Structure 1
């Protein structure tokens, strides 16, 4: 199953891009690009065009702005806006202020309207034939604090409100979720078509002994988070919680890093068991990159991943990852080795400190082992990804 990943990595990605990289280094492309997109007395402002094409989702184009010491010393402003017409709109703004070297606060706002959201069902046994689309409109505002506890540990606290509303959704030749429900192909997910407004408080503690570049990339990391939410109009409440633990070994001391990690996510009711499915843990995207976001949804999710990352150029890393996991019922109900899926991917990603990165990815995802483990998902993604 993984031989196509090797062929794609070797002959489609590594060798052709290796030749491009060598030419770019000789011609000093990196310096030229920086000059194009930065401005200001100290080059503290950056503005770049953005675009993302994740095959199977609507594409988008837009811009990203990054400004340091905006309005006041120590204040950072980040803006991102992208669209593909009225069917896909996303606008995000974040203003951060550094209180000192260890503490900062942030105000953030985001609006997103998307008519291409995927839904296959809930739990480990979803099948490709149940694929459907729905539309979602999300508006969120939050206030956050980050404090450095030790050299390797930090605390994040965030409080906010988000509004979720459903809109018509169709994309890419797939039937709408409404049509699939009417045909009896899938059951209506909990809370579908019922708009709500929820307040939340997120607390996360992270310990990460990996050092920033150019130091070697080995170390261990552990992140634990909990996020209680309260429906401001319906009397419901629920809590999302989970974490990721892992370790990395730098094989050469030059950022050729082998990484192993385990991630677990859960959502439980605190009052009234009617948790909207839009608050469920989702795999796909970063969790299992061989699947599009939305493929795997459940009351809990588990994923174990081994990955290898190596530098290929200034600010650019190549990576390959193999992930085993799935979405399950409450508290991993239904978990079994035969219910696991495999995700494998290769690609390139930027390693700079900016909140906007560039990624090229090719991935495959499989069915569960008890159904043969055949490839059911092919993912190709190229473009910029927002990280704030």
Structure 2
């Protein structure tokens, strides 16, 4: 008992005094307690003491910075690595200031009223996967099959709705089927079927198409640019068309297409006229001496074959960019019932240049001419003549306004991206329809067409368009507005 007691007492005393002894021993070993426990006492080297002093000053500077004082070390200037002077503003940027200033009011409208709000809606729809944006014509990559409703309104014509069904790679790989059904009333029906096979991913394909249409609201204003702007007649027509086509995309946006088919027309007087606008049926217009019955009014069934192509230096979408485009076509047809007497040839071409100003904003200038020549004793049917209006070149005019044995036009268009598959556009065109081989051409007889709106791009079979525009009378008549055109909805492209 007496032997273990001193040992236990010694252990207890050591534990009790160790917290006081340990710092003293550590201080004796280091001479001065540094922040990281390193020796900065008399035994430390001068270099080590200087380094710790610099670090301490740096820490103090950081504390000063945190308290809001200016940094103790100034920001270093960016080195001039290449030794070359600042290039300054480029010539391209300098000349762009002229149109920027002139068109700044339009820029405010297109940028802040059209592009940005629509861009927000479309981007949000894609991100939130709204159903309408997962299908054509808005989808960047459409599903392999689907069925969507369609609606198209062209003020001045009967509106229509319908269904659009498509399938891809369902029957066999690379095969696509398209079905379009339109209904605008019991007297307005349209049905189309297309079967297409793609041989590769470059656009080489073969397709078969059948289309049947019945409408009571077709419009005819004048042929060869003759007639007054208020002499409008309406007519109805039933038509059916079958076609086989082969197409190639050999280089960039260039193309070559060969097609052949049969189409037939039957025309009739209609009661779909607007008396307030002074419209008449064709028979009433003839009776009043506005013009004679148009050639082919009795109806016809024609065989036709067509060759068209283009050389386009621009890349394919979505790259595109600046470039030039030259295109042309030739089409030969004849009436199967009067093959010797009613034969014709239509041909034409256009050339254009496109400048991508920046990020898809493109300015395009192009123009061209088209011609129709009778090869037999009977004239070319009026529905086979080049059409400058509607879905043709002067989009401010309604379809059927500018038929002619020859047409000529020049267009300036500014296009700007709103979304991946949607572009806005502003279109200004001058031109008119004339007699054979531009007979009667005179700059004073040209008209103007203005249009702006948006349209989808990328899907060749179905497009969505919103457009407002108008067309004018000829310059010699004062170029006063003659027609207002407003369209909205989905249009068939195949």
Shared fold per TM-score greater than 0.5: yes
Match in the other structure for 1:222: 326
String of CA shifts for 1:33-83, please: whole Å, max 9, x gaps.
3576589xx931132211111111111101122221131101111121111
Deviates more, 1:299-308 or 1:90-99: 90-99
1:96 to 189, 192, 196: 196
Aligned pair in 2 of structure 1 residues 210, 128: CA closer, same or farther (>3 Å)?
same
CA-CA distance at 1:166 after TM superposition: 0.8
Aligned residues: 380
| Residue 255 (1) aligns with residue 356 (2) | no
For residues 132-147 of structure 1, the aligned pairs below 5 Å read 132-147=233-248
- Mark the runs of 5 or more structure 2 residues left unpaired by the alignment: 1-102
Of structures 1 and 2, the one with the larger relative CO (CA 8 A, separation 6+) is 1
| Residue 369 (1) aligns with residue 475 (2) | yes
Structure (1 or 2) with the greater helix fraction: 2
Q: Secondary structure at the match of 1:129?
A: coil
Match in the other structure for 1:381: 487
String of CA shifts for 1:218-259, please: whole Å, max 9, x gaps.
22112211110011111321011112221111001x110000
Match in the other structure for 1:128: 229
Contact between 1:45 and 1:68, CA under 8 Å: does it hold in 2? yes
String of CA shifts for 1:140-176, please: whole Å, max 9, x gaps.
1011111234445332111101111113323351321
Moved over 6 A (4+): 5-9
Deviates more, 1:320-329 or 1:265-274: 265-274
Cα distance between partner residues in 2 of 1:139 and 1:126: 30
Contact between 2:212 and 2:240, CA under 8 Å: does it hold in 1? yes
Q: Secondary structure at the match of 2:375?
A: strand
| Residue 33 (1) aligns with residue 131 (2) | yes
For residues 67-216 of structure 1, the aligned pairs below 5 Å read 67-101=167-201, 103-173=204-274, 174-192=279-297, 194-216=298-320
Contact between 1:287 and 1:303, CA under 8 Å: does it hold in 2? yes
Match in the other structure for 1:244: 350
Aligned pair in 2 of structure 1 residues 156, 19: CA closer, same or farther (>3 Å)?
closer
TM-score (norm 1): 0.91
TM-score (norm 2): 0.72
Cα distance between partner residues in 2 of 1:347 and 1:6: 18
Contact between 1:57 and 1:171, CA under 8 Å: does it hold in 2? no
Cα distance between partner residues in 2 of 1:66 and 1:77: 6
Contact between 1:125 and 1:339, CA under 8 Å: does it hold in 2? no
Match in the other structure for 2:375: 270
String of CA shifts for 1:330-353, please: whole Å, max 9, x gaps.
000011100100001110111232
| Residue 310 (1) aligns with residue 411 (2) | no
| Residue 284 (1) aligns with residue 389 (2) | yes
Once superposed, what is the RMSD of the aligned Cα atoms? Answer: 2.4
Match in the other structure for 2:120: 22
String of CA shifts for 1:311-339, please: whole Å, max 9, x gaps.
11232111000000000000000111001
Q: Secondary structure at the match of 2:318?
A: coil
Cα distance between partner residues in 1 of 2:234 and 2:206: 37
Cα distance between partner residues in 1 of 2:424 and 2:119: 12
Aligned pair in 2 of structure 1 residues 191, 77: CA closer, same or farther (>3 Å)?
same
Match in the other structure for 2:166: 66
Contact between 1:204 and 1:226, CA under 8 Å: does it hold in 2? yes
1:56 to 156, 178, 197: 156
CA-CA distance at 1:29 after TM superposition: 5.8
Aligned pair in 2 of structure 1 residues 359, 172: CA closer, same or farther (>3 Å)?
farther
Aligned pair in 2 of structure 1 residues 309, 170: CA closer, same or farther (>3 Å)?
farther
CA-CA distance at 1:15 after TM superposition: 0.9
Q: Secondary structure at the match of 1:271?
A: coil
Deviates more, 1:14-23 or 1:61-70: 14-23
Contact between 2:252 and 2:316, CA under 8 Å: does it hold in 1? no
